[in-house]
Copies of this chain bind each other. A is one copy, B any other.
Amino acid sequence: MLDITTQLTTNPKQKPAPDELGFGHYFTDHMFILDYTEGIGWHDGRIVPYQPISLDPSAMIFHYGQSVFEGLKAYVTVDNEVLLFRPDQNFKRLNNSNDRLCIPKIDEEYALEALKQLVSIDREWVPNAPGTSLYIRPFIIATEANLGVHPSNRYQFIIIMSPSGSYYKEGINPVKIMVEQQFVRAVRGGTGAAKTGGNYASALKGQEIASKEGYAQTLWLDGKENCYVEEVGSMNIFFKIDGKVITPALNGSILPGITRDSMIQVLKSKNIPVEERRISIEEVVEAHNNGTLEEVFGTGTAAVISPVGELKYLNDKLIINKGEIGEVSQMLYDTLTGIQNGSIEDTFGWTIRL
C-alpha cells in the first residue's frame, strides 16, 4: 500500500450555515491528490489544503476531454458517527470508466483509505442538519502538456468534498420532464456507461431546451432507434406499471447507477417485482393511456429519488399519479436515506463507518 502524506491547513475556512449550503458551492479545508506518471505509476498520494490546480495551457484535459469522475456522500448518524454509502462501488465504477477512457486504473483499496483519511481530517465539515450530507467528488484528469491526440502520460486523481444542503427542503416535489427528440445523450459503443465529462457536456443542450419549455429534466431516448428510454437528466429512471417496477437494462449506453442498483436490491428485498429490460416510450404512453402507469421516478446520488409528476412526449402531457409522489417511490426514498443516515438498520452491508 502506498503512503499518504498530510499537510494540514493553517488557515481553516469559515463553515457556511446549514441553510446556505445548496449543492456544490462550498468546499472543505482539504483535498486529496495522487499523481500518475508513465513508467512510474500512481505516486505521491497526499492530503493538502484545498487549493487551485495549476496546469500548462496545453494540458490534455483542456483539449481532449480525457477525464472521469464519481459522486458519493457521507452522512452523520443520530449517534454522531459518519457513514459512507457504498464507496467501494464508486471506486470500482471509476476503474470501469478509466478503462473506457484509456486512463490507468487506480488501486481501489488505496483510494478508499485515502477517502477515509480525508473525511476524518475534515470531519467537522460533514453537516448534520436533517437531509444534509457531505458530497464527495473523486475525479481524474489528463495533465500531459501536449496537443497530440493520444492517451495522456500524466494524470491527477483528486478528491474534493462539498457540504451539501437538503435536496428537498420543502418536501419531495415531483418534477415535470420532457422527452428529448432532437438530441441524444449517448449511443451503444460510445461513452454513455462511463462517468466522463463529455456525457454531461453533451446533455446540456437538451437540458437547455427542456428548461425553456418549463421542464426540469430531459428524458433521453436511445441513440440508435430513438424509441427506448435511457436516462432522465443525469439520473437513472424507473417506471411502475401494473404493480411491476421496470428500469432500462444496462445496455452499454446507460450509466450503471449505484443508487439504481441499491433501489433494485431494496425492491427485491420487499418482494416488489422489478425488471431490468428494454422499455420503449410507446410502452410508457400506452400504460398511461390504459391506466396502469402508476409511478415514474429518477434515481441518483444527489436527489436519491426524484419522482416524475408530468411527462411530455410529442404533444401529449402525461400526468402521473395525479402529480404526487407514489407509494413505492416514497418507500424507496425513506428506506435508502434511512440506511444512509443510520436510522434504519443496514441489512445490505452498504454503509462503512468511518
With an 8 A cutoff between CB atoms, is A40 at the interface?
A: no
Residues 182 to 216 of chain A near chain B (Cβ within 8 Å): 182-191, 196-205, 207-208
Contact with B along A232-243 (1 / 0, CB 8 A): 011000000000
**Complexed CA–CA distance, A177 and B233 (Å):** 37
With an 8 A cutoff between CB atoms, is A112 at the interface?
A: no
With an 8 A cutoff between CB atoms, is A273 at the interface?
A: no
Which residues on the B side are within 8 Å of A281 (C-beta)? none
Which residues on the B side are within 8 Å of A51 (C-beta)? 57
* Contact, CB under 8 Å: A150 / B189: no
Which residues on the B side are within 8 Å of A139 (C-beta)? 62-63
**Complexed CA–CA distance, A149 and B207 (Å):** 10
* Contact, CB under 8 Å: B160 / A65: no
How many residues of chain A get a CB closer than 8 Å to chain B's CBs?
66
**Complexed CA–CA distance, A197 and B149 (Å):** 10
Return A42 CB to nearest CB of chain B, in Å: 18
* Contact, CB under 8 Å: B101 / A204: yes
**Complexed CA–CA distance, A237 and B188 (Å):** 23
Q: Taking beta carbons and an 8 Å cutoff, which residues of A are in contact with B?
A: 23-25, 27, 31, 50-59, 61-67, 69, 100-102, 135, 137, 139, 141, 146-151, 158, 160, 162, 182-191, 196-205, 207-208, 223-224, 226, 233-234
Return A215 CB to nearest CB of chain B, in Å: 14
Partner of A61 from B61, B196, B233 at Cβ < 8 Å: B61
Which residues on the B side are within 8 Å of A53 (C-beta)? 54-57, 59, 62
Provide a sorted-by-A list of 14 A–B residue pairs whose CB atoms are within 8 angstroms: A24-B147, A25-B146, A27-B58, A53-B55, A65-B201, A65-B202, A66-B201, A102-B204, A102-B208, A149-B233, A183-B189, A184-B188, A185-B190, A191-B201
Known contacts A102-B204, A151-B204; is-contact A52 B54 (Cβ 8 Å): yes
* Contact, CB under 8 Å: B57 / A67: no
Known contacts A63-B197, A139-B62; is-contact A150 B190 (Cβ 8 Å): no
Q: Is the interface of A mostly helix, strand, loop or mixed?
A: loop
17 extra interface residue pairs, beta carbon distance < 8 Å, beyond A24-B148, A102-B208? A23-B148, A51-B57, A52-B56, A63-B137, A64-B204, A65-B197, A65-B199, A135-B147, A137-B147, A149-B200, A149-B204, A184-B189, A186-B190, A188-B223, A190-B190, A197-B201, A198-B201
* Contact, CB under 8 Å: A24 / B204: no
Which residues on the B side are within 8 Å of A52 (C-beta)? 54-57
Return A33 CB to nearest CB of chain B, in Å: 9
Which residues on the B side are within 8 Å of A57 (C-beta)? 27, 31, 50-53, 158, 160
* Contact, CB under 8 Å: A198 / B208: no
Partner of A234 from B58, B65, B149 at Cβ < 8 Å: B149
Which residues on the B side are within 8 Å of A146 (C-beta)? 24-25
* Contact, CB under 8 Å: B184 / A190: yes
Which residues on the B side are within 8 Å of A233 (C-beta)? 149
> Which partner residue on chain B sits nearest A182 by CB separation?
B189
* Contact, CB under 8 Å: B151 / A208: yes
> Which partner residue on chain B sits nearest A147 by CB separation?
B24
